[in-house]
Structure 1
Amino acid sequence: GATGGDGPAGDPAEASASGSDTGSGPAAGPGTASGPAPGMGRFLAVALGQLITITGSALTEFALPVWIYMETGSMGKYALYAVIGMLPGILVGPLAGAVVDRLDRRRVMLAASAVAGSTQAALLTLLLSGNLSSWHIYVLLGMLSVALTFQRLAYASSVPQLVPKRYLGHANGITQMAFGFAQFIVPLAAVALMAGIGLKGILILDVTGYAVAITVLLIVKFPRTLPWTRRESLVAEIRNGFAYSWKNRGFRAMLLWFAALNIFLSPLFLLVTPLVLSFDSLESVARVAVAGGAGAILGGIAMGFWGGPKRNRMQGMLGLAGLLAVASALVGVRADLWIIGIGAFGMSCALSMVNGVYTTIVQIKVPQRFHGRVFALNTLVAWSTLPIGHGIIAPAGSAFFGPMFEDGGSLTSTVGALIGTGPGRGIGFMYLLFGAAMLGLVVVGLRLRVLARFDLDVPDALPDDLVGIQERERRVKAARAKKAKSASPAASAAPSAVTDSSPVTDDDTPTHDHTPTDDDTPARTVEAAR
């Protein structure tokens, strides 16, 4: 247990040695206060604030590239926006993960939200003064990408701190629903807002949203379930975080599986617009986007009520990925808006649930003190193939398969007889082909022993506050044994009391020698330690 506040607790015995008030050891022993208890109400308040910022940022991310293209007419500058919006955040991910694990996550969220809100305020100020130009946007966008990475990792890592373990799946479903809501509302509202209040009004809404989110974070106190502060350097933290995931066969296999999946999945989300425009209008693109957003919301709601599989979560996630593959293939069956809309709905719904179950797996299998670094590494590895999908496979595949479905093309009389011919049918064939490839990856994942047995071979992590209590008890027993040994020579023949405790080491190396309970609240883990 800890004694108030939101950060990691310190060990009084080592505080004097380190010269700090918090020290660098585990939490205080049983019987001490532990601050507010985890609960869904506390999480929902934070999630509401994050929903407001996610929606506001999505509106801005839609409006800014449109403003750049309308002002400059340059497709190159338009594309550069997407690169700058993603690349800095990916590159800073390992550092952000280590900082999130090292510091108070609530304060990291506050600082990141303040920087992101200030960036939007700077854009608004430049726009109102008439001095906003493309290079201003790129510089501030890079800052925003970095700030949002810190905010996203701190938020994802704080969920198990805010919510009891048995509700993690439900909480992650609500988180996915928030992203789905933003995806749903932006196509409906962005065009109308751009025409009505313009970029200026959208930026005002975004800055106001960040002010609300910061206010919520200032009011809501986080439970104090992280009993460790850092002895290691920041570089060592980053290295240890990488080692935690990469040296574990199960996590390494999962990361590589996701990286392979994204090679085929990322082009499909990018190609929805050209597929629809090949036979219909821009208004129809918006309708399909709304269908996709509705699917993401439904997937989040389903996860919120269901909570994901209680056992065999990895196999459940692979099964949901199979539904994602089937929905992707459906998009390419015919040049029909209803079929494409249903397919886009299914893709977003399944993807939302896959992400929800995956997040729950990480939060349950990885100790809280590693969450920031593990999420950062997972993002770095899984997203490493996105540039390949977006920049190479999508345009090259469209150019390669398109002529095959034109008049006289090599597939006109065979596959074309089933899915149709003409403009856009090459893209449709990519959906069928890549959907089959993703389904093949699912089959491979289910047959790979390291993934099929993931839930059995990788034990659940102990709550960090319980680890701290056990470590403190180990040290007390060790000190008593040493004192008894020095007082009586006969004590040397007695078994050491140290061997009865948890082998948690001081260098933050995780162990999984205990079976965790489903209740993560500090009060109950104290009772368990007794």
Structure 2
Amino acid sequence: MSTADAETSTRRPDTGPPARIRTFVLLWCSQWLVVFAAALTVLVFRLDIFAEFDSLAALIFAFLILFAPFAFLSPLAGALVDRYGHRRVLLASSIGYLINLGALVVVLLLDVPLLWPLIAVLAIDAILKAPQLAALESAVPLLVPRQHLIRANAPRMLLTVTGVVLGPLVVALALTVVAPVGVILLECAAVVVAILVVLTLDIPVVPKDADAAARRSIGAEVLSTWSHLRSRPGLLPVLGFLAGVSCVIAILEGAGPENVFSFAGEGGTVIVFASGWVGMLITSIIMIVTGRPRRLARGLLSAGLVFAVALLVAAARPNVAVMAVAAFIALGSTAVFIACVQTVLHSKVASQHLGRAMGFKNLMVAGPHMIGSTIVVTVGAGLVTVVGRDEVRSPGVSALVGDAPGRSWALVMMGGAVFVAVVVALVSRSVHLRRVDDLPDVTPGAQLDPASAGPSASVDLPAAAGPPASVDLPAAAPTPARR
């Protein structure tokens, strides 16, 4: 029997594309468990850094250690994914989550003061989230055919937003049955399930760069990916567009609840943001079923413009019904926007650079998100005394956003809407962005190394959709609201 015959005889019967898609679904669900568990931790103890710290310096320090690690470590984490592989990094990050939660259980059992240990646990979670998301997001095109990438990326926003929306309900129900330490133990169990799932999965291994042996530092690898992104016309404008929208999403997360709560109370706030989550869910389902939008550049620009208009309408008048409809449309459009960004990167970035590219993408989400949160805390709070807390002092402002409590927050939202509209106008002038769909695909699944991918990943690979990935081509993602 020849070597080829021997290899054929050892192949599993489910090694084709359906098996890889099943692997993607299992991988996505397992990592959703980890993300959801991490989101529940802060909800269990109701940590509000704005209420806990009176000192501005302490507040800034807590804010930085809670949110900055994910932003600034993401490119480096992506380099680790490209160097060591998706499966190893996912296992390492999940085991890190488990150890971190275990340490929190020990703190609770010892009954020591909780505030700073909890902040340390959440900061470590932020560090672990960087390699986890870089590995998960860059593994998608290894498992999903090019024509189904938009479907696979459709629920991306739900990965993190579901914890914010459903988390309080899950925590409230769990705390009626068990103590907080019991909820943390349930989170540990969820992470253990995720680890066991990843251990059973065959995730294809991407061959290293031809010059990988010559590179010794992670920083050099990160810089090489930046050069690769620059060599692919249209990718940097896409990332810039993402940064602008991410900043305004942070503004919406902070100013939106304050705006609605001021004139409609807790009930109105729940209605508006539940409507937004439903809009995101329905939009994601539509994309999964239809596989649209097919033209990614058009989808990006259209979703950005719809988001700006919906946000402008929501800020214009203190009306719960209008704001609920606007939230449905605005958050639904963000699902389209993020799915298009993900698909552009998955199909246009060479497989050897995907981990680092997704790391850069996460930096473009988290960095501007911190800027937007800072704008809400400073500008939004400062406008309260200028505009008026319970009524609007200026007739001009009243004509713009109506007369009701909390209209200073509406002004902040309206400013965000105008900013997104300006960004859409600017990036739409980029010829490279408008033609990003015409950039040759470099489908990662076509560049796998069969010998290193394992039995199930070594067969039935699709034909290459573009030039080899190792050849340089010629130029052609809630801030706590103050109550």
- Structure 2 letter corresponding to 1:323: V
Match among 332, 352, 365 for residue 348 of structure 2:
365
Mapped to 2, the partners of 1:78 and 1:121 lie a distance apart of 26
Q: In structure 2, what is the equivalent of residue 228 of structure 1?
A: 208
- Structure 2 letter corresponding to 1:155: L
Mapped to 2, the partners of 1:349 and 1:75 lie a distance apart of 38
**Given the superposition, is the C-alpha separation of residues 513 and 86 from structure 1 closer, same or farther in structure 2, using an over 3 Å criterion?**
closer
- Structure 2 letter corresponding to 1:235: G
Mapped to 2, the partners of 1:74 and 1:402 lie a distance apart of 19
Q: Secondary structure at the match of 1:332?
A: helix
- Structure 2 letter corresponding to 1:443: A
Contact 1:170 1:304 in 2 (8 A): yes
Contact 1:467 1:504 in 2 (8 A): no
Match among 440, 457, 473 for residue 511 of structure 1:
473
- Structure 2 letter corresponding to 1:438: V
1:277 is displaced (CA, Å) by 2.1
**Given the superposition, is the C-alpha separation of residues 202 and 326 from structure 1 closer, same or farther in structure 2, using an over 3 Å criterion?**
farther
Q: In structure 2, what is the equivalent of residue 459 of structure 1?
A: 440
Mapped to 1, the partners of 2:382 and 2:370 lie a distance apart of 18
Matched, 1:210 2:191: yes
**Given the superposition, is the C-alpha separation of residues 78 and 340 from structure 1 closer, same or farther in structure 2, using an over 3 Å criterion?**
farther
Q: Which moved more, 1:111-120 or 1:193-202?
A: 193-202
Matched, 1:54 2:16: no
Q: In structure 2, what is the equivalent of residue 434 of structure 1?
A: 416
1:271 is displaced (CA, Å) by 0.9
Contact 1:288 1:344 in 2 (8 A): yes
Match among 371, 379, 394 for residue 388 of structure 1:
371
Mapped to 2, the partners of 1:248 and 1:503 lie a distance apart of 13
Q: In structure 2, what is the equivalent of residue 252 of structure 1?
A: 236
- Structure 1 letter corresponding to 2:89: V
Contact 1:185 1:290 in 2 (8 A): no
Kindly report which structure 2 residues correspond to 1:149-228, keeping only aligned pairs within 5 A, or say none. 149-194=130-175, 197-224=178-205, 226-228=206-208
1:427 is displaced (CA, Å) by 1.7
Mapped to 2, the partners of 1:388 and 1:181 lie a distance apart of 23
1:279 is displaced (CA, Å) by 1.5
Deviations 1:344-371 (A, max 9, x none): 2222211122111110110000112111
Number of corresponding residues: 447
Deviations 1:431-459 (A, max 9, x none): 23321331232233223222222222x32
- Structure 1 letter corresponding to 2:254: L
1:34 is displaced (CA, Å) by 8.6
- Structure 2 letter corresponding to 1:170: R
Contact 1:460 1:512 in 2 (8 A): no
**Given the superposition, is the C-alpha separation of residues 177 and 256 from structure 1 closer, same or farther in structure 2, using an over 3 Å criterion?**
closer
Q: Which moved more, 1:433-442 or 1:205-214?
A: 433-442
Q: In structure 2, what is the equivalent of residue 243 of structure 1?
A: 227
Mapped to 2, the partners of 1:155 and 1:428 lie a distance apart of 36
Q: Which has the larger radius of gyration?
A: 1
Q: Which moved more, 1:205-214 or 1:325-334?
A: 325-334
Kindly report which structure 2 residues correspond to 1:476-495, keeping only aligned pairs within 5 A, or say none. none
Q: Secondary structure at the match of 2:155?
A: helix
Mapped to 1, the partners of 2:264 and 2:393 lie a distance apart of 25
Match among 123, 146, 156 for residue 104 of structure 2:
123
Question: What percent identity do the matched residue pairs reach?
Answer: 23
Q: Secondary structure at the match of 1:278?
A: helix
Mapped to 1, the partners of 2:443 and 2:467 lie a distance apart of 12
1:464 is displaced (CA, Å) by 5.9
Mapped to 2, the partners of 1:460 and 1:366 lie a distance apart of 8
1:119 is displaced (CA, Å) by 0.5
Mapped to 2, the partners of 1:383 and 1:186 lie a distance apart of 21
1:296 is displaced (CA, Å) by 2.4
- Structure 2 letter corresponding to 1:365: K
- Structure 2 letter corresponding to 1:47: W
Mapped to 2, the partners of 1:463 and 1:148 lie a distance apart of 23
- Structure 2 letter corresponding to 1:66: L
Q: In structure 2, what is the equivalent of residue 423 of structure 1?
A: 405
**Given the superposition, is the C-alpha separation of residues 503 and 374 from structure 1 closer, same or farther in structure 2, using an over 3 Å criterion?**
closer
Mapped to 2, the partners of 1:125 and 1:392 lie a distance apart of 37
Matched, 1:45 2:45: no
**Given the superposition, is the C-alpha separation of residues 127 and 399 from structure 1 closer, same or farther in structure 2, using an over 3 Å criterion?**
same
**Given the superposition, is the C-alpha separation of residues 281 and 164 from structure 1 closer, same or farther in structure 2, using an over 3 Å criterion?**
same
Mapped to 2, the partners of 1:407 and 1:134 lie a distance apart of 34
Q: In structure 2, what is the equivalent of residue 293 of structure 1?
A: 277
**Given the superposition, is the C-alpha separation of residues 115 and 245 from structure 1 closer, same or farther in structure 2, using an over 3 Å criterion?**
same
- Structure 1 letter corresponding to 2:282: L
Contact 2:391 2:405 in 1 (8 A): no
Matched, 1:96 2:96: no
Could you tell me which runs of 5 or more consecutive residues in structure 1 were left unpaired when the two chains were aligned. 4-29, 470-501, 515-530
1:73 is displaced (CA, Å) by 7.4
**Given the superposition, is the C-alpha separation of residues 416 and 513 from structure 1 closer, same or farther in structure 2, using an over 3 Å criterion?**
closer
Contact 1:52 1:209 in 2 (8 A): yes
Mapped to 1, the partners of 2:373 and 2:467 lie a distance apart of 46
**Given the superposition, is the C-alpha separation of residues 365 and 286 from structure 1 closer, same or farther in structure 2, using an over 3 Å criterion?**
same
Q: Secondary structure at the match of 2:428?
A: helix
Mapped to 2, the partners of 1:64 and 1:408 lie a distance apart of 34
Deviations 1:481-515 (A, max 9, x none): xxxxxxxxxxxxxxxxxxxxx9869xx4533799x
Contact 1:179 1:296 in 2 (8 A): no
1:112 is displaced (CA, Å) by 0.6
Deviations 1:360-411 (A, max 9, x none): 1100001121111111122223433223221135531452376346799674
Mapped to 1, the partners of 2:475 and 2:50 lie a distance apart of 57
**Given the superposition, is the C-alpha separation of residues 402 and 194 from structure 1 closer, same or farther in structure 2, using an over 3 Å criterion?**
farther
1:340 is displaced (CA, Å) by 2.2
1:250 is displaced (CA, Å) by 1.7
1:186 is displaced (CA, Å) by 1.9
Q: Secondary structure at the match of 2:373?
A: helix
Mapped to 1, the partners of 2:11 and 2:149 lie a distance apart of 20
1:122 is displaced (CA, Å) by 1.0
Q: Which moved more, 1:186-195 or 1:398-407?
A: 398-407
Q: In structure 2, what is the equivalent of residue 16 of structure 1?
A: none
Contact 2:310 2:327 in 1 (8 A): yes
Q: Secondary structure at the match of 1:197?
A: coil
Question: Aligned-pair RMSD on alpha carbons?
Answer: 3.3
- Structure 1 letter corresponding to 2:146: K
**Given the superposition, is the C-alpha separation of residues 390 and 73 from structure 1 closer, same or farther in structure 2, using an over 3 Å criterion?**
closer
Q: In structure 2, what is the equivalent of residue 526 of structure 1?
A: none
**TM-score, length of structure 1 as denominator length:** 0.75
